[in-house]
Structure 1
């Protein structure tokens, strides 16, 4: 897990999904995939002086995406099959995903192949603010003629994606009520103040058959969010359980998902949050007393807070990132691929 103190501006090379290697949108048809592969293979084939490593990536991407069953399985894995640090270029407009095409607070490929959130040369010295208009990376204006964007601009501009869906039979009603409360809270009190923030509801957990209620991303910070619903009263959080008198309530198990997401998105700071809702709807209930070192300030693996404090601390967590006004289309595209 990346702490706020250790968060670096140079965060390593990006994962490129098979779609990005071929320069395709996730909605590409089988015909689109075949055409993109033929074009890319002609450029990258070793017999034509191309890069053998890039050619292998192009071939692997094609073999997975052209097979409907393998493509479906790949899509559900958040596109995690692309190796980290591969340094691969896209087939159409190599390296174009690294430029932003507009000034101020840019993220892009650094000269050494790493992904950097440092400012572009010539940008103003003022730090980007979470309330600034959203900047898309890569910028739609930077696409070459005929180049396919990662997703339609209308999709990228949409602040909320997906919705909780019914899973199983027992407890579904109360679980859906908790998820709906959290989603409504985020939409009403977090998204309006951070134009680049995107809420993704209803994801499968990486590498297993579990589920994640919500993921909130802005710039290069990701908040994995679960919910609890408890009676009003005084509680104590010791970092692992929420105690009310002699009764102990276990929170959603978010640590494995947070660690897996950190592996999948090494360019981001990933932190987990549990929003504890009051049964009466009071945002300031329940009252939670924290053991030393467990305050919900975003520095812990799992942060526990009532609705009012959850909103305040999550907004601060997202806003204090290196480029909080950036919508990274690579990250958003992969998150959308993980929705069930």
Structure 2
């Protein structure tokens, strides 16, 4: 059996408008999201279908290869049921090459539509906002770890992904709080908070962080991830909490994972050290369709949410 097409997954005709695709995605995402009792694999299929069909370039490329099985020759070495043309994944090397391609703005700045949302001079900037002093207690430590995270993301992610846009200090939607960092590339959005903790071995089971039998409370990022996914249905939103060590060693502290917990599986928030953060963010941001896209409307909404 051939896998369902992106149109079949969303339940829309092949001539569906962008509005129809968005409405179908909202309905399917609510039904399949793991946080609402859905299946993670099905949710990823729905998200991938939307990522492709909502991007004019990706959709055009997909449509050129879309067709009944008789019209789609199987690539050499392709397993049965995985016909060529039904997957936008090109493998790690292809993902990295696509992510490193020059940034493409959607909608294009050749029209007046994009300029009316965000000036091109602003959209070209890859880093927006800086860690700022908020409150009185713990400000020095917080500013130190936030600045360290900005430097890490700027050097390891932004520098190698022309489409990446780093927005620092977002107001948490509907709450009196902040999201330290948001990283947008293509149709994927990573929300990142941070902690500065001593060296040692920490244990993460998907909900609780432990060290030496004691519970260490990470930032409450999961509600923000869920809220942002609701606000940005066109994006695939996931969260990371990075733990920095005092001496700047990217591989410290060590984060061990409880038996039965899959660190590479779906979860609203991943707890990692700096080295793993870089590895997982590169995989997440580059593996989506059209990772070199700057989605201007999403960028504009994120910029509007920065603290001033």
User: Normalised by the size of structure 1, how large is the TM-score?
Assistant: 0.65
Deviates more, 1:237-246 or 1:293-302: 293-302
Deviation at 1:287, TM superposition (A): 1.0
> Which of 50, 55, 62 matches 1:11?
50
Deviation at 1:9, TM superposition (A): 4.3
Judge conservation of contact 1:298–1:313 (CA < 8 Å) in 2: no
Q: Look up the match of 1:134.
A: 103
Judge conservation of contact 1:196–1:326 (CA < 8 Å) in 2: yes
Change (3 A) 1:170 1:255: same
Q: Look up the match of 1:269.
A: 236
Q: Work out the CA distance in 1 between the residues paired with 2:286 and 2:150.
A: 19
- In the alignment, structure 2 segments of 5+ residues that lack a partner are 1-32, 35-39, 66-84
Q: Work out the CA distance in 2 between the residues paired with 1:107 and 1:133.
A: 20
Q: Look up the match of 2:7.
A: none
Q: Look up the match of 2:149.
A: 182
Q: Which has the larger radius of gyration?
A: 1
Bigger helix share: 2
Judge conservation of contact 1:106–1:323 (CA < 8 Å) in 2: no
Equivalent pairs, count? 239
Q: Work out the CA distance in 1 between the residues paired with 2:257 and 2:239.
A: 17
SS in structure 1 at match of 2:225: helix
Judge conservation of contact 2:202–2:209 (CA < 8 Å) in 1: yes
How far does the alpha carbon of each residue in 1:74-100 deviate from its partner, in whole angstroms, 9 at most, with x for none?
Answer: xxxxxxxxxxxxxxxxxxxxxxxxxxx
Deviation at 1:117, TM superposition (A): 4.9
Deviation at 1:142, TM superposition (A): 3.3
Q: Look up the match of 1:326.
A: 293
Give the aligned CA root-mean-square deviation in angstroms.
2.5
Q: Look up the match of 2:206.
A: 239
Q: Work out the CA distance in 1 between the residues paired with 2:182 and 2:151.
A: 14
User: Normalised by the size of structure 2, how large is the TM-score?
Assistant: 0.71
How far does the alpha carbon of each residue in 1:187-236 deviate from its partner, in whole angstroms, 9 at most, with x for none?
Answer: 01111121101100011000111111000011111111000111111111
Q: Work out the CA distance in 1 between the residues paired with 2:304 and 2:265.
A: 26
Change (3 A) 1:196 1:294: farther
Judge conservation of contact 1:295–1:303 (CA < 8 Å) in 2: no
Judge conservation of contact 2:187–2:288 (CA < 8 Å) in 1: yes
Q: Within 5 Å, which residues of 2 pair with 1:1-340?
A: 1=33, 3=40, 5-11=44-50, 107-108=54-55, 117-120=58-61, 129-143=98-112, 148-297=115-264, 299-340=266-307
Q: Work out the CA distance in 1 between the residues paired with 2:275 and 2:210.
A: 19
